[in-house]
């Protein structure tokens, strides 16, 4: 029998489809000393792209995951987790329970490197595993973003709403794994860290731009982007022309809208980097106030954007602190 349980979690809809018995283990509640992940170690090597400095040219993701969490009081635990979408490894890493993952639906090398070695070394079963390989994981629960992703697994399925904010997606995973209270604590801890960091760098007096270069175009990232949400948590302001939730394509007519007190640029691909460098070296770009004032910084697009969460958030926060520190508009 298939049952569906829907629970509102910060406005996110989480669907749990029970297709097999849940292996529940009694566990104690979470400790106050448990914490979300840190940004990792950064070297002091100076590197530039297109004449502009990288914020953090080299980083070792040695503290990518949070300390190990335990279920909330009265909640059962699981022993074996399968992940049908690699992006959902982020909340597991942030909860510090990556060691429970027994299978990831990804090809070798397909796990995001920012999650650190304890996650990138997890067993992969191919991006489209068949029923035999999926069942071979013997998972208690499988996390996915659609029922099609979780269908091959003989396990309790948790389908996360990909249209929700990253905070709500993290909370949904925490709730589904019996760690709802601990998940809320970790989100609150990060929110407090971001607010304090913003106060230290006088974030409210800076207007920051976000520009992403593709293979033949560039876009201004909106406030609803992952990076935009971290800036907002810090209290960083955006220029009036960059306050829409969605991204805006840069054209000849609105080229100057990319300018700000400080601008973070990134490249979506190798071809995006080639195109981006050509723009960064152009006279029109160099005429922008941020460029002429050497206030353009290059960041890692794979961490600042996409389906990212609480494991990636401290990395972006650290990048902003390093570059915005000591500057205000």
pLDDT, residue 327, reads: 57
* Domain identity same for 145 and 15: yes
Residue where a domain terminates, one of 183, 214, 243: 183
Contact status, residue 91 vs residue 169, Cβ threshold 8 Å: yes
**29 DSSP 8-state letter:** P
* Domain annotation covers residue 291: yes
How far is the C-alpha of 262 from the C-alpha of 276, rounded, in Å?
17
* Domain identity same for 78 and 217: no
* Domain identity same for 177 and 256: no
* Domain identity same for 179 and 98: yes
| 12 phi and psi angles, rounded to 5 deg | -105, 140
Label residue 52 by pLDDT band (50, 70, 90). Answer: confident
* Domain identity same for 136 and 254: no
Residue where a domain terminates, one of 131, 151, 183: 183
Helix (H) or strand (E) holding 15: strand 12-17
Find tokens 């942030």 and name the residue.
94
Nearest to 14 by CA among 22, 4, 23, 6: 6
Q: Which two tokens stand for residue 158?
A: 């948790």
* Domain annotation covers residue 45: no
How large is the average pLDDT for residues 290-317? 95
Rounded alpha-carbon distances, angstroms, from residue 307 to 18, 128, 165, 201:
26, 19, 10, 27
The total number of structural domains that make up the chain: 2
Which residues partner with 142 through β-bridges?
A: 82, 157
**238-257 pLDDT, tens per residue?**
999 999 999 999 999 999 99
Label residue 36 by pLDDT band (50, 70, 90). Answer: low
pLDDT, residue 56, reads: 75
* Domain identity same for 148 and 205: no
Q: How far apart are the first and last CA of the chain?
A: 60
Number of H helices, E strands in the chain: 12, 15
pLDDT, residue 202, reads: 92
- The per-residue pLDDT of the chain, averaged, comes to 87
Label residue 46 by pLDDT band (50, 70, 90). Answer: very low
Domain of residue 224 covers 201-324
* Domain annotation covers residue 35: no
* Domain annotation covers residue 248: yes
* Domain identity same for 16 and 151: yes
How far is the C-alpha of 299 from the C-alpha of 321, rounded, in Å?
13
Q: In this structure, what is the dihedral angle of CA atoms 214, 217, 223, 228, given to the nearest 10 degrees?
A: 30
* Domain identity same for 86 and 234: no
Label residue 38 by pLDDT band (50, 70, 90). Answer: low
* Domain annotation covers residue 260: yes
**112-143 pLDDT, tens per residue?**
999 999 999 999 999 999 999 999 999 999 99
CATH code of the domain in which 291 resides:
3.40.50.1980
Residue where a domain terminates, one of 124, 149, 183: 183
* Domain annotation covers residue 144: yes
* Domain identity same for 284 and 232: yes
* Domain identity same for 9 and 136: yes
* Domain identity same for 223 and 107: no
* Domain annotation covers residue 42: no
Contact status, residue 265 vs residue 278, Cβ threshold 8 Å: no
Is the pLDDT at 328 greater than 90, yes or no?
Answer: no
* Domain annotation covers residue 137: yes
Q: Which two tokens stand for residue 75?
A: 């909640």
Nearest to 134 by CA among 117, 151, 112, 148: 151
* Domain identity same for 157 and 263: no
């Amino acid at each position: 029998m298939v049952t569906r349980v829907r629970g509102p979690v910060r406005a996110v809809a989480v669907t749990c489809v029970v297709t097999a018995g849940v292996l529940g283990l009694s566990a104690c509640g979470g400790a106050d000393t448990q914490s979300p992940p840190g940004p990792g170690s950064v070297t002091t090597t100076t590197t530039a792209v297109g004449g502009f400095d990288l914020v953090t040219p080299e980083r070792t993701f040695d503290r990518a995951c949070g300390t190990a969490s335990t279920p909330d009081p009265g909640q059962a635990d699981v022993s074996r987790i399968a992940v049908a979408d690699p992006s959902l490894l982020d909340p597991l890493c942030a909860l510090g329970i990556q060691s429970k993952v027994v299978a990831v639906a990804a090809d070798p090398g397909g796990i995001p490197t920012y999650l650190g070695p304890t996650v990138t070394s997890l067993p992969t079963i191919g991006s489209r595993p068949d029923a035999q390989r999926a069942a071979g994981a013997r998972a208690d629960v499988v996390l996915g973003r659609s029922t099609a992703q979780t269908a091959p697994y003989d396990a309790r399925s948790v389908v996360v709403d990909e249209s929700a904010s990253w905070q709500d997606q993290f909370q949904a995973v925490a709730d589904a794994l019996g760690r709802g209270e601990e998940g809320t604590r970790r989100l609150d801890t990060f929110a407090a860290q971001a607010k304090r960091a913003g106060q230290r760098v006088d974030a409210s007096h800076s207007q920051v731009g976000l520009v992403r270069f593709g293979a033949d175009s560039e876009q201004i990232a909106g406030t609803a982007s992952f990076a935009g949400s971290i800036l907002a948590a810090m209290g960083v302001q955006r220029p009036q022309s960059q306050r829409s939730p969605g991204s805006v394509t840069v054209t000849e007519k609105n080229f100057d809208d990319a300018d700000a007190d400080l601008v973070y640029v990134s490249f979506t691909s190798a071809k995006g980097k080639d195109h981006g460098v050509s723009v960064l070296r152009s006279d029109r770009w160099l005429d922008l106030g941020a460029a002429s004032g050497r206030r353009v910084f290059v960041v890692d697009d794979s961490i600042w954007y996409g389906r990212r969460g609480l494991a990636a958030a401290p990395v972006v926060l650290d990048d902003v602190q390093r570059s915005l520190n000591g500057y205000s508009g």
